[in-house]
Amino acid sequence: MSAVDKAFHGLRHMIATGRLGPGDRIPPEAELGEELGVSRGPLREAVRMLAALGVVEPRHGSGTYVSQLRPEDVIGSLSLTLELLPLSGLLEVYEIRRVLEAHVAAKAAARRTPETVKTLYSLIESMEATEDPTEASELDHRFHAEVARAAENPTLASLLAVFRARSRKYQVFTLPEGPEMRRKSDADHRVLATAIADRDPGAAAGAAEAHVAQTERWLRAFMPPVEETDGGPEDAPS
Amino acid sequence: MSAVDKAFHGLRHMIATGRLGPGDRIPPEAELGEELGVSRGPLREAVRMLAALGVVEPRHGSGTYVSQLRPEDVIGSLSLTLELLPLSGLLEVYEIRRVLEAHVAAKAAARRTPETVKTLYSLIESMEATEDPTEASELDHRFHAEVARAAENPTLASLLAVFRARSRKYQVFTLPEGPEMRRKSDADHRVLATAIADRDPGAAAGAAEAHVAQTERWLRAFMPPVEETDGGPEDAPS
DNA sequence: CGGCCGGGAGTCATCTGATGACTTTCGCTG
DNA sequence: CAGCGAAAGTCATCAGATGACTCCCGGCCG
């Protein structure tokens, strides 16, 4: 086992067993390195790995701290790399998103508060009022985030936030057909908000699923088709 | 921007723009460090971060290579940290899993091949035959993985695999009540496999959802209730 | 007495140089 | 032509030194 692995698993074990809890500061590099039997170089590399995964957070001059270990902390690490995936993978992500958006919409409809409804309509009006595609995209994100928040599952909400961030990179609203898409999208939002306001989970799920499916169709239509690399049946050469 | 950030984002950018593609070997440390304007220390830390996220893979003595960038490569990085989450977060994960397992079951029922059905029943028979809880858990995992595979969405399949791995850590089958749970679980599997064999998506979804919900109830029942840390309303002190 | 401010200790960030371990390639030998 | 061994290339690790930043504490001033 390499020195980096020793440090990585050692540190992870200290957190898993509770010796280090959320918010704790881990020992200084020199001290921890001696305890784990590695020098500072590999130890720092292991700490960076855990930082990339959202488990710890180094603060220059202060120390390195264990994160709160909320599900969103760990899931957020995906956002840095999900956009490196090829388009074919993105379509698979859309399928997941469609299922989960439908679920959170239904749950939001069942649990909504008056404040949620008010916020949703407020966001819709802002969306319909703006001309800036970037601002519209931002408001769209907040609208769906609000629906997810109302479903009362922060893990699911942050997972969907990551998926949406990946999709937003494509900026479909800036295309020539953008304004037309915008109007359709706005109409979808009204249908969804109304279903939630009516406490109608079935309608909300249907509206959310249709909305995502629509976005997915736009992406299929305006992005290059998935290309066969060349040797179809081959698997990962590893 | 720190040297590590410069190296991390620089390298990530080289991959995002296609200058480095899946399977490519990245330049040697000395050379890349000079190009990015950082010394070897921070560069190595940045490479380790990308390695932890499943984007690159260093091979001692040979070089560092970009991964295939399949969705499962990136999602797999979650498995190292998901088990650090507290139990409260786990229940939220179960809700996601319930929705997604229902979806893959329905899709598997719609697309199943005779081979899939044969494999599923073969796994069920092995499960019912064994006494070893560890082996049973392994077979259970393979059964659900086969269902997910039949749904033809590798991203979703690997996401569910990560979620299941987190759940398996609890080894509920080793409890005194284990054998009884095992029989219930086996019965669930038969219902699900039959629904898939009958090409009945609705029944398959219902069976899968009920199966996950059952597991979830066992976990709630036999694990300590979620404890309030003490100062309820406080948020992350950041 | 209280708030502001400066200094010092503690900690992470970075650079440099050197050595070891492992893989791959290529030329030599039989 | 096959096998093998040496050499080059590359990552892995260690050590030491310096810089940058944060935090706390004690003194000073109002």
How far does the CA of residue B131 sit from the closest CA of chain A (Å)?
30
Helices A87-111 and B87-111 cross at an angle (nearest 10°) of: 120
Of the candidates B84, B156, B236, the beta carbon closest to that of A55 is on B84
B68 close to A (CB below 8 A)? yes
Q: Which sign does the torsion angle of CA A228, A229, A234, A237 carry?
A: negative
* CB-CB contact of A77 with A34 (8 Å): no
Burial class for A219, CB neighbours closer than 10 Å (0-12, 13-18, 19+): middle
Is residue B236 scored above 60 in pLDDT? no
A186: exposed, middle or buried (Cβ count in 10 Å: 0-12, 13-18, 19+):
middle
Q: How many residues does chain A have?
A: 238
Contact B23, B49 (CB under 8 A): no
Whole-number percent of chain B with pLDDT over 70: 93
Candidates B53, B84, B156; nearest CB to A96? B156
Mean pLDDT over A184-209 rounds to: 96
Q: Do the chains contact at B53 and A53, CB–CB below 8 Å?
A: yes
- pLDDT digit string (tens) for B47-94? 999 999 999 999 999 999 999 999 889 999 999 898 898 887 888 999
Which pLDDT score is estimated for A52? 97
Q: What is the pLDDT of residues A81-116, one digit of tens each?
A: 988 988 878 889 999 999 999 999 999 999 999 999
Cα distances (Å, whole numbers) of residue B217 to B63, B91, B171, B172, B222: 48, 10, 14, 11, 9
Taking CA atoms, B193 is separated from A144, B44, B120, in Å, by 35, 48, 7
Q: Which amino acid is at B189?
A: H
B232 pLDDT exceeds 50? no
Distance CA B62 to C1' D5 in A:
19
pLDDT recorded at residue B238 = 32
Map out the domains of chain B with their CATH numbers: 3-68 (1.10.10.10), 75-222 (1.20.120.530)
Closest nucleotide (CA of B32 to C1')?
A: D10
CB contact under 8 A, B100 and A100: yes
pLDDT at B183 over 70: yes
Residues of A in contact with B15 (CB under 8 A): 84
Integer Cα distance of A119 and B147 in angstroms:
40
Q: Name the residue among A183, A204, A209 with its Cα closest to residue A193.
A: A204
